[in-house]
Structure 1
Amino acid sequence: MKNNFSDSLFNNTIEGILIIENGFIKDINNTMLNILNYDSKNELIGKLATGILIPNVKKKYLEYNNETYEEITLISKNINMIPAIIKITDFIMDDRKYKMVFIQNLTELKKKEMLLLEQSRMAAMGEMISMIAHQWRQPLTSIAAAVSNLKFRANLDKYEKETFIQKLSDIDKYLNYMSTTIDDFRNFFKTKKEKEYISLDSVIEDSLKMVEKAFKNSNIKIVNNKKEMKKLYLFRNELIQVILNIFNNSKDAFAEQKHNEKPTVTINYKDTKDYQIIEVCDNAGGVPEKIIDKIFDPYFSTKENKNGTGIGLYMCKTILEKHCEGNITAKNIPNGVCFKIRVKK
């Protein structure tokens, strides 16, 4: 099918290439052999292409180098699953119809994506520590006051059983609250990747537990127009990461404002035929129109002088598109901005 020059070109492309006729592999280039860890073309030529190309149950598409590719999974010789994207072109030669399949190995890209996700989670950890401090400050103060009171009474030999029992009961209550709080945050940082059968409104509730004290201390009102949503199989922690990122962006935006008598974050819920929708809106002044289309780009930050990483909203977009078959958009509203999160049912 090829002369010497085209044969050399065919075998030295960056992408893997398959030539398929009626579903059977007619030729394969060296790049593809390397991706699949095969030693010889003869091991694959004449075999069904479906033996190495496994399409996703639900078709997924990826923008790569300004081209649209379909995401698939490759099966290597040693039965490893390799993430990849493909583009197919039909051509005719000697009155016979063939398909030329261009394949790009996504293994390194997926590793970088996971690295970005972990980087984003590490950035969130700093926020979490601050939130834990807000959650614990009041009970720690109360425990210290109760202990001091008991010590004072003991030193004066003023032992009153009922008073001591009440103070110890109060301390126990504060400790239980602190234990519950740390469990909420610890669950967030678990590396568990299995989907859970949960509802979006419960994800919001879990997220609010983590920020309520910090928001209260910053005089930010939260209006949660809660609506009970049907449960879906979702990645709980990753969705919490999305919600927390939006909450923290609002908190930072309020901190930059000189005057805002009623800083408010409002959460609304919607249900459509194909999607469940959460809208998180604030009245923190909005995003300049000239950059609102860029805020989901990687490493784009409006906080360059404030230790902004520029990956928070990008990771929100990645999590929703890759793991929830959804998306996130932002639009300015009077005196603020509204983030719309859509999750596929």
Structure 2
Amino acid sequence: MDFTQAVEIAKHIYWIGMYLENDPFQCHPYFIENGDESILIDPGSMLEFEAVVRKVNTISSMKNIKYIILHHQDPDLAAAVPEMEKLIDRSDLLVITHSRMVPLVKHYLIRSDYYEIDKHGHQLVSGDLHLQFVTTPYCHSPGAFVTYEPFTKTLFSGDIFGGIEESWEFFAGKDYFEKAKPFHAEYMPSRDIFNYALTKIEKLELEMIAPQHGSIIQKEKIAGLIEKMKALECGLYIEKEYKDRLIHTIEELKEKDLALRASMQEIKEKEELLFQKAKMADMGEMIANIAHQWRQPLALNNTLISILKEKNQQEALRSTELAEKLQEMENNIQYMSKTIDDFMHFFHPKKEKNLFLISEVVRHTLEITDPMLKKAGVSLTFEISSEEAVEGYMNEYMQVVISILHNAKDTLLHRKTKDPDISLRLYENGKDVVLDIGDNAGGVQQENIHRIFDPYFTTKHKSLGTGLGLYISKMIIEKNMDGTLSISNTQDGALFRITLPRQSKTGKTDATQPDH
């Protein structure tokens, strides 16, 4: 191959550089023949000036050059441009570069106008020629870029893929990575920045890479070379102090990450324990309710059995009377069995989210808590203006309502409120279903209202509560069901508001006020 002449490396694309003896920095300008809109790429310094001009004139003419591409601002690439401008002598000559480069290359006394790639969609269309410009910031210049010619699939890569070699080979051999390695280790700022550029480049369909330094790389060597380049330590990474500090920082971050994960597990375990503790507290209330609900039917059955025994001994028991008493006892037992079912249903909740009607859940909750509230002398009203479904954990929602009712009942009793009352109102607000639970106990003191959902916070005597019920309730609604649970004060007392996104319209509306 005669390197004293221009070498066509692809259709209409020519290497027009020269071999500099004993110079490891071989510089390679390229020329794209495109009629009177031809393109000169990285023309070089004054060391190559005469050779470049001569070779261009053997292919076309310097006066046919309309564009000069400068991939970065270094003198080995751009210093000859002012002298070439004189030979080209065209008022429409444009220097193609990035806007970050313009303030620097103007110091060469370039007179031509600039075609800034970042202001022209990172492309140039000239007749049938279509060039694409891919930015590779900080490799090694802030405004660095590479040029891709899609017809021949040739990449003009500037400093990237350049090599340092005194025994120069025109086409890269098997050992080219070893020649490219020292150049990139010294000139690329860091492995991360270099890899960012390589990732953009490897997305292109490439037949050939034509760098400014080193050797031309043919298709079969491109993929392997890129993989080796990605693992290369360069820039800051070859500075031992920086590398040691980086490794130390990485190790610290790993330790913090492990500590954070352990902490998250610990928090999850604690939340589960708190949940179980609150559940046990609620269980105590529920057992009290069951005992209260069972007391009357048990007493009735005991009385009926005594009556039947007495009449049987006196042989005064009629068959019709026996049947009636047995039916009455069976009804009492069924009532007791239903109470147990309610209890088991509540304390063995399903963990899959399901659609459910809040109105039905609240009605069922009031059936369970009715004895507790009656015993405390608390009157209750429930107004329904929505029959919308929500998605979530039905039994956990029931637990929240029970916990709020318990809290309201305890506060009413503790403050000895005259005519204690709890009111519930179910309604729609936009895309949400809202349940308001209010009482007339006077409300929460302003200095405590922001702490009401904190774990273990309670204004009651220790014998009256754990301070976990409202904390767990907020966690259930907001963490498990993507809703909100809030508290505010009204003129009469506290108002708890449970808001959940509605799921589907049933078409039913109802307003009832149960008799308690």
For the pair 1:334 / 2:487, whether they are aligned, the reply is: no
The higher radius of gyration belongs to 2
Q: Percent identity?
A: 32
* Preserved contact between residue 486 and residue 497 of structure 2 (Cα < 8 Å): yes
1:138 alignment counterpart: 296
1:113 alignment counterpart: 271
2:245 alignment counterpart: 5
- Farther-moved stretch of structure 1 (283-292 vs 246-255): 283-292
* Preserved contact between residue 275 and residue 343 of structure 1 (Cα < 8 Å): yes
Summarize the Cα distance change of 1:282–1:172 in structure 2 as closer, same or farther, 3 Å threshold: same
| Shift of residue 332, structure 1, vs aligned partner | 1.5
| TM-score, with length taken from structure 2 | 0.48
| Shift of residue 31, structure 1, vs aligned partner | 5.9
| Shift of residue 4, structure 1, vs aligned partner | 1.2
For the pair 1:245 / 2:403, whether they are aligned, the reply is: yes
What secondary structure is seen at the aligned counterpart in 2 of 1:287? coil
1:233 alignment counterpart: 391
Whole-Å Cα distance in 1 between the matches of residues 271 and 341 of structure 2? Answer: 28
Summarize the Cα distance change of 1:252–1:31 in structure 2 as closer, same or farther, 3 Å threshold: closer
1:163 alignment partner, one of 304, 310, 321: 321
Render the CA deviation track for 1:232-284: whole Å, top value 9, x for unaligned: 22101111111000000111112213351x22111001212232110001112
For the pair 1:322 / 2:479, whether they are aligned, the reply is: yes
What secondary structure is seen at the aligned counterpart in 2 of 1:12? helix
Whole-Å Cα distance in 2 between the matches of residues 307 and 283 of structure 1? Answer: 19
| Shift of residue 143, structure 1, vs aligned partner | 1.1
What secondary structure is seen at the aligned counterpart in 2 of 1:303? coil
Whole-Å Cα distance in 2 between the matches of residues 259 and 293 of structure 1? Answer: 23
Whole-Å Cα distance in 2 between the matches of residues 11 and 259 of structure 1? Answer: 61
| Shift of residue 104, structure 1, vs aligned partner | 8.7
| TM-score, with length taken from structure 1 | 0.71
**C-alpha RMSD of matched pairs (Å):** 2.1
What secondary structure is seen at the aligned counterpart in 1 of 2:477? helix
Whole-Å Cα distance in 1 between the matches of residues 442 and 484 of structure 2? Answer: 23
Within 5 A, what are the aligned runs for 1:7-46? Answer: 7-13=247-253, 29=254
2:279 counterpart letter in structure 1:
R
For the pair 1:282 / 2:451, whether they are aligned, the reply is: no
The total of aligned residue pairs comes to 262
Whole-Å Cα distance in 1 between the matches of residues 402 and 415 of structure 2? Answer: 20
Summarize the Cα distance change of 1:105–1:258 in structure 2 as closer, same or farther, 3 Å threshold: closer
Whole-Å Cα distance in 2 between the matches of residues 135 and 150 of structure 1? Answer: 24
1:149 alignment partner, one of 307, 310, 333: 307
2:377 alignment counterpart: 219
As a proportion of its length, which structure holds more strand?
1
* Preserved contact between residue 436 and residue 495 of structure 2 (Cα < 8 Å): yes
* Preserved contact between residue 134 and residue 213 of structure 1 (Cα < 8 Å): yes
What secondary structure is seen at the aligned counterpart in 1 of 2:449? coil
Whole-Å Cα distance in 2 between the matches of residues 257 and 126 of structure 1? Answer: 22
What secondary structure is seen at the aligned counterpart in 1 of 2:456? coil
Whole-Å Cα distance in 1 between the matches of residues 427 and 354 of structure 2? Answer: 21
- Farther-moved stretch of structure 1 (251-260 vs 105-114): 105-114
Whole-Å Cα distance in 2 between the matches of residues 191 and 229 of structure 1? Answer: 23
* Preserved contact between residue 293 and residue 371 of structure 2 (Cα < 8 Å): yes
Gap regions ≥5 residues in structure 2? 1-236, 503-516
What secondary structure is seen at the aligned counterpart in 2 of 1:106? helix
Whole-Å Cα distance in 2 between the matches of residues 10 and 182 of structure 1? Answer: 57
| Shift of residue 11, structure 1, vs aligned partner | 1.1
2:345 alignment counterpart: 187
Whole-Å Cα distance in 2 between the matches of residues 315 and 253 of structure 1? Answer: 18
* Preserved contact between residue 279 and residue 340 of structure 1 (Cα < 8 Å): yes
Gap regions ≥5 residues in structure 1? 14-28, 36-83, 85-102
